[in-house]
């Protein structure tokens, strides 16, 4: 999974660099539209275009039949059943080829999220007293069987603890609240059972090329039901090895202001989906794609 994420990151470093001068909103919409058009071209190649057109034409014919013979209940009922059956065929012909496009869509969305969804943590004055709940919460989830009581967490000089490390043995979890007191990239060090891992934390006004709130484990490579654990969606940092005692290490970054576009991960996802659909729909006839 790390190899795939690294390859995708290198590719998007180049692609997004071409439009970075235009601002985040333009970049998000442009590359979402490019994906929509490319997805249509791939769909055209891997789908049965004649079958899709035939199914659509037959559905239209049965709808006309219903309109023409609306006084004949037997004909209408038969036509309605045929419409339903043709719709099942039509959906099947579309759904199958669309499935392979889900992976590149996830890769595109993940790359845009880690580059545009977040801002670094705000800075606090070093040594200042910070009320509980005003800092950033570090959340650590361990693998099943790991002893959270042996967990050690070391904050770098640029981060200041607001609370002690709270361990929850029954859930194999731990929590600690902290604030950033210096700008830059900081490494939180986590140690357990002879394994040493880190979590990058960015703070200050300088925005890095990519940043993510979660570092996850390779053991959840197919956790489709829980996208917060899916390594494919968090490509800015390496995953934990599948045999690591660490499963998820997370913080919460503030959302970056996207102007007239919606903010956060959900805003990026919505922008990508709508832009790719709208621009792709505009390209249907010119590309001669049946969908």
pLDDT(75) > 90: no
Phi-psi category of 138—alpha, beta or left, where left has phi over 0 and alpha has psi -120 to 50? beta
Predicted TM-score of the model (pTM): 0.88
Report which of 23, 25, 84, 97 is spatially closest to residue 58, judged by C-alpha positions: 84
pLDDT 10s digits, 1-20: 788 889 999 999 999 989 88
The answer to whether the beta carbons of residues 248 and 141 sit under 8 Å apart is yes
Between 76 and 14, where is the model more confident?
14
Q: Please state, in angstroms and rounded to a whole number, the distance separating the CA atoms of residues 226 and 248.
A: 12
pLDDT of res. 144: 87
Q: What is the mean pLDDT of the chain?
A: 90
- Of the chain, the percentage scoring pLDDT greater than 70 comes to 98
Q: Which residues contact 54 (CB under 8 A, 6 or more apart)?
A: none
Is beta strand 184-192 parallel, antiparallel or unpaired with respect to 152-154?
Answer: antiparallel
| Per-domain boundaries in the chain | 2-116+267-287, 136-254
pLDDT 10s digits, 217-255: 988 767 666 778 888 899 999 999 989 999 999 999 999
pLDDT 10s digits, 36-74: 999 999 999 998 899 989 989 898 998 888 888 887 788
pLDDT of res. 68: 85
The answer to whether the beta carbons of residues 18 and 261 sit under 8 Å apart is no
């Amino acid at each position: 999974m790390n190899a795939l994420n690294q390859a995708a990151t290198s590719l998007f470093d180049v692609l997004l660099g071409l439009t970075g001068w235009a601002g985040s909103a333009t970049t998000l919409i442009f590359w979402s539209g490019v994906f929509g058009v490319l997805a249509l071209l791939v769909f055209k190649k891997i789908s049965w275009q004649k079958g899709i057109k035939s199914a659509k034409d037959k559905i239209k014919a049965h709808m006309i039949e219903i309109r023409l013979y609306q006084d004949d209940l037997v004909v209408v009922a038969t036509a309605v059943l045929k419409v339903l059956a043709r719709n099942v065929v039509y959906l099947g012909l579309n759904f199958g080829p669309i499935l392979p496009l889900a992976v590149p869509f996830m890769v595109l969305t993940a790359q845009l999220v880690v580059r545009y969804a977040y801002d670094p943590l705000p800075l606090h004055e070093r040594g200042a007293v910070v009320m509980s709940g005003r800092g950033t919460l570090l959340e650590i989830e361990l693998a099943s069987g790991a002893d959270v009581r042996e967990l050690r967490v070391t904050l770098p000089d640029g981060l200041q603890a607001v609370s002690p490390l709270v361990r929850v043995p029954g859930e194999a979890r731990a929590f600690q609240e902290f604030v950033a007191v210096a700008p830059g990239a900081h490494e939180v060090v986590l140690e357990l059972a002879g394994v040493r891992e880190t979590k990058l934390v960015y703070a200050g006004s300088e925005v890095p090329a990519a940043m993510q709130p979660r570092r996850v484990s390779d053991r959840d490579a197919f956790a489709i039901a829980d996208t917060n654990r899916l390594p494919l969606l968090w490509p800015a940092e390496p995953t934990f090895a599948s045999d690591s005692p660490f499963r998820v290490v997370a913080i919460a970054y503030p959302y970056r202001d996207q102007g007239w576009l919606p903010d956060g991960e959900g805003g990026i996802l919505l922008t990508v989906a709508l832009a790719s659909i709208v621009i792709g729909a505009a390209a249907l006839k010119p590309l001669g794609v049946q969908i």
